[in-house]
Amino acid sequence: MHLVGLQAENFRNFSTVQLSFAKHTNLITGSNGSGKSNLIELIYYALFSRSFKTSEDMNLLHWKESYLRTQIEFQRDGVDKTVVVSFNSNKEKKVLLNNIPEKFSVLFRESSVIVFSPSTSQLVKGLPSVRRKWLDRILVRVDREFTSILYSYQQTLRNRNALIKRKLIQKEDYDLYDLLTTNLVSLSSLIRKGRQDLIKMINAVISPTVSKMDLPMFSSIELKYYHSRMMEDPSLLAKEEIKRGGTLIGAHLDQIEIFHGDASVRDFSSEGEQKLISFCLKLCEFDLIQVKTKNSPVCLIDDLFSELDEDRAQLLFKYVSSVSQTIFTDLTGRLIEADKVIPLTREENTICLP
Amino acid sequence: MYEFTPSYLKAVEELHQLPGIGPKSAEKLAASFLKMKQEDFHGFVEALQELREKVKQCSRCYNLAESELCLICSDPERDQTKLCVVEESKDLVAIEKTGAYNGLYHVLQGVLKPIEGIQSNKIRLKELFHRLQHESFQEIILATNFNYEGELTAMYIVKELKNSSLTISRLASGLPMGSDIEFADQLTLKNAFRGREKFSEEMI
């Protein structure tokens, strides 16, 4: 898959954007605060109608403007596609895929993108929820059934929490709680199976991936999956859940830890090692998505050289750009040659490049 | 600044309360009432009044009715051993239009939505279980919608009836008529496979 063109109005610091992309490598340059990262975020938003940085679309509106609009054209398997997203200050959002209104969940299946950014290292040092979401998002892209399982799970969890908050006073409430518990447990086991199978696949590709980055010392990195507590005596569980005001069992509480030999990477590795390991894991994601969807995802790399040392950055860039379209940002752009350069300046908030 | 007259504004405000009617549409409706012929307008008002006064709930199945029992419950030709459970009267009408079913109905007037505080006591579930105990049904057909809440409600009913001798069935989920298999979503196609039927002569 590759991106062809992008138009936008009133997104973050840009009032107008009109761009076309080179099929292989694209470099966005500009000084600090010129909007390089915003442009990466804009590409992601235009494809998925969601930002990877904020869940509040209001924050994306250009200062004092009442609407934003994005339009992105891309090609996948030789088919041209266009996604138009519009959002206004009344919080109304519309998504059009090839001029037909669509739900945003459809967009995740239409295009495929991998983002490498300064927040990538959260994958290792962040909370377990970051790793759970990371696995779930990979699964949603490669397995459609997982999407509906995850949706049912989230609905079940929300309903069950709502019921627990009302303290299960009546017998009917308790029956419904019981039913939701059964559903939660069976959906949990499906989600766990999906995640554990994926972890097995990731563990199998870690060693070839780290060798691509010339990091042989990380070949023994391993992901491990830990179940949260299991269902104990149901009546005891209900009592405790009412006391704590929420669900205490299920796959949404499971933990995923990363080990280097016997040591947890989160606790024992240095900041720099954590960064390298998270980039390796993202590269595993890249490889898996490529194999599973038989399509290379577009790589968006924010601030390549400030995140990795020069050698690693060159290796990462060489590898991803050899198989997929790559769009990356850099302060100067002196270290890497790209087919197309998109220069940004701090003063101008209009980009027009044919 | 000039505004519309008070009575006009009041009517607009009332119309705006209706579902799906925004402020602009409310103004349009108010203006069209003013343009209507007197007798047409009276007919309109009468229809609304009759709706409020005459249309009630059937005391047995909670369908819309204009007497104690709805037309279906008061029809002796109906199969009294079958009960079809639907969410709303509009679902009942949709099933009736097919002509494929000749049993009785029970309208739940909603579905279980614990997030919004809609639990079993807020819909007609107690009444359903009461009917199942006191009437002579042999089969209950669950025809709630195939979304999360509809499925949850169906599962809840099944759970509550686990000790009964009733035959419980659920409407089949599968491919719509006139559809192409290649465009069907995977879940629907999977359900269609699971629920496949033996080919019988009736189908030809």
Per-residue pLDDT at A231 exceeds 80: no
| A190 backbone φψ class: left, alpha, beta (φ>0; ψ -120 to 50) | alpha
Q: How confident is the model at residue B184 (pLDDT cuts 50, 70, 90)?
A: confident
A25 SS3 class: strand
At residue B3, what is the residue type?
E
Domains of chain B with CATH codes? 81-198 (3.40.1360.10)
Interface contact A20, partner B, CB < 8 A? no
> For residue B155, which residues of chain A lie inside 8 Å, CB to CB?
179, 183
Question: Quick one: which H or E segment has residue B85?
Answer: strand B79-86
* Candidates B121, B159, B185; nearest CB to A179: B159
Chain B: closest CA distance from residue A149 (Å) = 11
Residue of B nearest to A144 (CA): B186
> For residue A157, which residues of chain B lie inside 8 Å, CB to CB?
none
Encode pLDDT of A273-315 as tens digits.
898 999 999 999 999 999 988 889 999 999 888 878 888 888 8
* Candidates A148, A159, A170; nearest CB to B115: A159
Encode pLDDT of B142-165 as tens digits.
999 999 999 999 999 999 999 889
Mean of pLDDT over chain A: 90
At residue A22, what is the residue type?
A
Per-residue pLDDT at B198 exceeds 80: yes
CB-CB under 8 Å, B152 with A159: yes
ipTM above 0.85, yes or no: no
Q: How confident is the model at residue B127 (pLDDT cuts 50, 70, 90)?
A: very high
Residue of B nearest to A151 (CA): B148
Q: How confident is the model at residue B204 (pLDDT cuts 50, 70, 90)?
A: low
Handedness of CA B65, B66, B71, B74 (dihedral sign): positive
Mutation target vs A (from B129, B152, B160, B193; most A CBs, 10 A cutoff): B152
Encode pLDDT of A186-209 as tens digits.
999 999 999 999 999 999 999 998
Mean pLDDT of A51-68: 91
| Those residues with Cβ within 8 angstroms of residue B38's Cβ, 6 or more apart along the chain or in another chain | none
At residue B71, what is the residue type?
L
Cβ(A221)–Cβ(A210) under 8 Å? yes
Residue with the bigger pLDDT between B102 and A261: it is: B102
Encode pLDDT of B53-80 as tens digits.
999 999 999 999 999 999 999 999 999 9
CB-CB under 8 Å, B115 with A158: yes
At B65 the pLDDT is 94
Encode pLDDT of B13-37 as tens digits.
999 999 989 889 999 999 999 999 9
Cα–Cα distance, A350 to B11 (Å, whole number)? 48
CB-CB under 8 Å, A162 with B115: yes
Domains of chain A with CATH codes? 1-112+301-354 (3.40.50.300), 118-294 (1.20.1050.90)
